[in-house]
């Protein structure tokens, strides 16, 4: 059985002031990933060496200088301490605490972090921490206000009073031309070890990871840089020191650093931050389908008219935009290549002018639209292509049951 995903925030033991290896609730995220857990030996000391000739040679040859990145961007990375997390303790403790990371994004005192660092629970049971504090590398520790959080992307925006603080905003980068193998650095507070640096490479792009709601976050970055409990909310940086994403999860079987880490991509982060600044919340368009991506062998087995697209498998029992527009789901389950397929539903191949080849394409195509917008789905039904207009709804906090 594939392990459930865990999140990379640490739980703060109230009495002993010790950091546990969990996130307060090991099952906070219902996906196949796990909170970032890597061995402590994989995390660099908070004062990395800058004098080794070998390190200098590598930096000169590749243009990637972790020591320089750490020196320049490290002061902008903070430790985030949350208190009053009602659902964080299995014992029912209403005042447990958690610890994660974050980073400064503006001179006005804005801090970006993960939503799960400053909340507890999932779906419509998510609750916000009663108190949040931000600790800087120079020893300053101040109270922060949660401006808002986006549970779908696992992003939160905090605000502190900047008076008397020397703030170092980290610049946002881009994932547009991101390549597998590109070097990256992660800075954060794994296991409470503040200002720790780890390095690695981009292991993969365009991954899907579970959010706090059961819906997937698409476009996630996979990395082998060590991302442990407490790294949640910290930045994943490119060779220029620009933010590529927010470190969030690790997928592991053993609970240690043999897993792989995942970061919420910066384009998703920027979208969330912009809306949180404006409204304190983020709204997503909702179609209301459960689908599976096609591939040539499936198309051949079931005599389908296309071998790319998403095959509608189920619709919510309670209805939804797609169901109201007449989109149909499959009615008969057949096992093929050890997987269950529900046969007979519509195949979605486009949203307006955007072609759809898999589930990630469908999720990405819907992102620019506001709830209430009408879009045209290009579908195949009974072997024939047709267009169906759908008025998009607003994504709920939990995935509705199918039926």
Is 232 among the residues known to form the active site? yes
Catalytic residue among 33, 232, 248, 291: 232
Q: How confident is the model at residue 403 (pLDDT cuts 50, 70, 90)?
A: confident
Q: What is d(CA 208, CA 201) in angstroms, rounded to the nearest whole number? A: 18
Mean of the per-residue pLDDT values for the chain? 85
Q: What is the mean pLDDT of residues 212-238?
A: 94
Residues 176 and 238: beta-carbon distance below 8 Å: no
**Which region among 29-43, 125-139, 262-276 has the lowest average model confidence (pLDDT)?**
29-43
Q: Could you tell me which of 9, 146, 154, 25 has the C-alpha nearest to residue 88?
A: 25
Q: Taking the CB of residue 171, how many other CB atoms lie within 10 A of it?
A: 12
CB within 8 A of 239, min separation 6: which ones? 62, 63, 64, 65, 69, 182, 183, 184
Active-site option among 33, 65, 116, 358: 116
- For residues 386 and 182, give the distance between their C-alpha atoms in angstroms, rounded to a whole number: 42
Cross-strand pairs, 355: 350
174 is catalytic: no
Residue 244 neighbours by CB distance under 10 Å: 29
How many angstroms separate the CA atoms of 296 and 136, rounded?
Answer: 53
Q: Average of pLDDT values for 149-154?
A: 97
Decide if pLDDT at 257 tops 80: no
- Phi and psi torsions of 260, nearest 5°: -120, 145
Delineate the domains of the chain, giving CATH numbers in brackets: 6-279 (2.40.10.120), 285-394 (2.30.42.10)
Q: Which pLDDT does position 120 carry in this prediction?
A: 92
Lowest mean pLDDT among 27-36, 236-245, 295-304: 27-36
Q: pLDDT at residue 225 above 70?
A: yes
Judged by average pLDDT, the poorest of 12-16, 263-267, 273-277, 346-350 is: 12-16
Share of the chain above pLDDT 90, in %: 74
The tens digit of pLDDT for each residue in 105-125 reads 999 999 999 999 999 999 989
Known catalytic membership, residue 346: no
Q: b vs e for 110-121, b when ≥16 Cβ sit within 10 Å of the residue's Cβ?
A: bbbbbbbbbbbb
26-80 pLDDT, tens digit per residue, is: 333 333 344 332 332 233 333 343 344 444 555 566 689 999 999 999 999 999 9
Cα dihedral angle (201, 203, 208, 214), rounded to 10 degrees?
Answer: -60
13-22, 125-134, 144-153, 376-385: least confidently modelled range: 13-22
- Average pLDDT score over residue span 270-289: 96
Residue in this structure with the two tokens 């409990």, named with its chain if needed: 229
Report the distance separating Cα 172 and Cα 73, nearest Å: 12
Instruction: Name beta bridge partners: 246.
Output: 264
Please tell me the predicted confidence (pLDDT) of residue 351: 98
> Do you know the residue count of the chain?
403
Half-sphere exposure of 190 (CA within 13 A, CB side): 29
pLDDT value, residue 320? 96
Query: In the predicted model, what is the mean pLDDT of residues 322-335?
Result: 97
Q: Is the dihedral of CA 399, 373, 205, 172 positive or negative?
A: negative
pLDDT at residue 15 in the model: 28
- How much is the pLDDT for 325? 98
pLDDT tier for residue 9 given thresholds of 50, 70 and 90? low
From 65, 150, 154, 238, active-site residue:
154
Among 41-50, 213-222, 226-235, 316-325, name the one with the lowest average pLDDT: 41-50
For residues 120, 126, 129, 134, the Cα torsion angle rounded to the nearest 10 degrees is 70
Give 41: exposed, middle or buried? Use CB within 10 Å, 0-12, 13-18, 19+.
Answer: exposed
Taking alpha carbons only, the member of 215, 261, 205, 251 closest to residue 43 is 261
Which pLDDT does position 36 carry in this prediction? Answer: 38
- Residue 348: is its pLDDT beyond 90? yes
């Amino acid at each position: 059985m594939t392990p459930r995903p865990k999140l990379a925030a640490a739980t703060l033991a109230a009495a002993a002031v010790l950091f546990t290896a969990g996130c307060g609730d090991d099952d906070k995220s219902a996906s196949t990933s796990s909170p970032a857990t890597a061995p402590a030996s994989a995390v660099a000391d908070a004062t990395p060496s800058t004098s080794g000739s070998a390190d200098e040679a590598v930096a000169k040859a590749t243009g990637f200088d972790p020591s320089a990145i750490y020196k320049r961007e490290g002061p902008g990375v903070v430790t985030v301490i949350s208190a009053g997390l009602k659902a964080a303790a299995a014992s029912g403790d209403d005042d447990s605490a958690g610890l994660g990371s974050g980073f400064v994004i503006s001179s006005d005192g804005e801090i970006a972090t993960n939503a799960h660092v400053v909340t507890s629970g999932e779906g419509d049971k998510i609750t916000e921490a009663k108190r949040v504090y931000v600790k800087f590398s120079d020893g300053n520790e101040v109270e922060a206000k949660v401006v808002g959080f986006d549970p779908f992307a696992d992003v939160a925006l905090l605000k502190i009073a900047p008076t008397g603080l020397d703030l170092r905003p980290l610049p946002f980068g881009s994932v547009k031309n991101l390549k597998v193998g590109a070097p990256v650095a992660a800075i954060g507070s794994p296991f409470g070890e503040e200002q720790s640096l780890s390095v690695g490479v981009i292991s993969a792009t365009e991954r899907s990871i579970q959010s706090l709601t059961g819906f997937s976050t698409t476009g996630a970055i996979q990395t082998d840089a060590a991302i442990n409990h407490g790294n949640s909310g910290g930045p994943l940086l490119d060779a220029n020191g620009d933010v590529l994403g927010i470190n969030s999860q690790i997928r592991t079987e053993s609970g240690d650093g043999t897993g792989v880490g995942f970061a919420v991509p910066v384009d998703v982060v920027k979208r969330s931050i912009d809306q949180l600044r404006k409204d304190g919340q983020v709204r997503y368009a909702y179609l209301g389908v459960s689908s599976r991506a096609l591939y040539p062998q499936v198309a051949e087995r079931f005599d389908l008219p296309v071998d790319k697209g998403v095959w509608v498998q189920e619709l919510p029992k309670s209805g939804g935009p797609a169901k109201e527009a007449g989109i149909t789901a499959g009615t008969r389950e057949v096992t093929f290549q050890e997987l269950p397929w529900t046969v007979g539903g519509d195949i979605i191949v486009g949203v307006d002018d955007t072609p759809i080849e898999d589930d990630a394409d469908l999720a990405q195509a819907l992102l620019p639209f506001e709830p209430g917008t009408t879009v045209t789905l290009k579908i195949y039904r009974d072997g024939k292509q047709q267009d169906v207009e759908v008025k998009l709804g607003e994504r709920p906090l939990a995935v509705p049951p199918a039926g």
